[in-house]
Amino acid sequence: MIIRQDIWPKCVKDAFVTGFVLVIIPLIYYFELFIVLPRYYRQWSFTYDFHFMTGTFILFNLCANYVAIVMCDTSIKGRILRSGELLPNWRFCSACETVAPPRSWHCKICKTCILKRDHHCMFTSCCIGHENQRYFLVFVFYMFVATMYASYYNIHFVRDYLTFGSWTSIFKVIFPLAMLFMEWTESQLYVFFVIIVLAGGAFTGGLLWFHSDLMLKGLVSHDKDKKSKFDNGIRANIEVVLGEKWYLVWLWPWIESKLPCDGINWNEYMSDKME
């Protein structure tokens, strides 16, 4: 794995969204385990400890996979590329002034071509491509699990702070951030956190479904509207993203799972699959 040298956001939007993610994740962790959970279980009892360890395990996977996404350089920088006559599915990138392998596309924000580029993620301020798509997918999976897990308790927890049927409570739910500025109270802050978690669950659930479907079909976001030239069946498509140990990468981010293709020589990879 090649380590990215420049990990800082390249635009204001990326900086704002990435900063929000880096702040909200530890805040929600503290809120769920030290404010919400003690309402249901005596602190440091066996049941509390079980949920505490489960939440901490989820947080670890979130953070470790997030760091891996950011630190993994999935661009063409530092790669040995072919020169001379263009091979099938290769193209010339005028911005990078070099040939680009199949499935690689130029990112205007990162200012380079990305191997098997899927999209530019503003939550990590980098592109998702061949080398870090595994970590992105696992990160989204754990984010969805975390938000659903927390929402189960949050829905009951927040009822203590809302009087259903009143207009004030309705505005607290619909406009949690605006109401927080108007009424900076502990209860409104809790409502804001609960709404953020619910919204995060809905968003990451849709994201997980969308990207899992692309992976199973051998597609990336760039070519989602057409049939993939690199579809080798569900098992092979999963291994291209998650590696040969695809069934273990969900448990620990540092499990080595070799990818069957280097992200450059797709023509050779497809020839081997067809033999």
Is there a catalytic annotation at residue 113?
no
Which of 23, 32, 30 is CA-nearest to residue 152? 32
Tokens 């503290």, located at residue: 30
Does residue 107 contact residue 117 with C-beta atoms inside 8 Å? yes
- Over residues 28-51, the mean pLDDT reads 95
Q: Please report which confidence band the pLDDT of residue 26 belongs to, taking 50, 70 and 90 as the band edges.
A: very high
Q: Which residue in the list 72, 113, 121, 127 is annotated as catalytic?
A: 121
The pTM (predicted TM-score) of the whole model is 0.92
The whole-number pLDDT of residue 181 equals 59
Give the integer Cα–Cα distance in Å for 131 and 2. 9
pLDDT at res. 29: 97
Q: How would residue 165 be classed by pLDDT, with cut points 50, 70 and 90? A: low
Phi, psi (deg, nearest 5) at residue 98: -155, 165
Tell me the C-alpha distance between 220 and 232, whole Å.
Answer: 14
Q: How does the average pLDDT of the chain come out, rounded?
A: 88
Q: Residue 222: is its pLDDT beyond 60?
A: yes
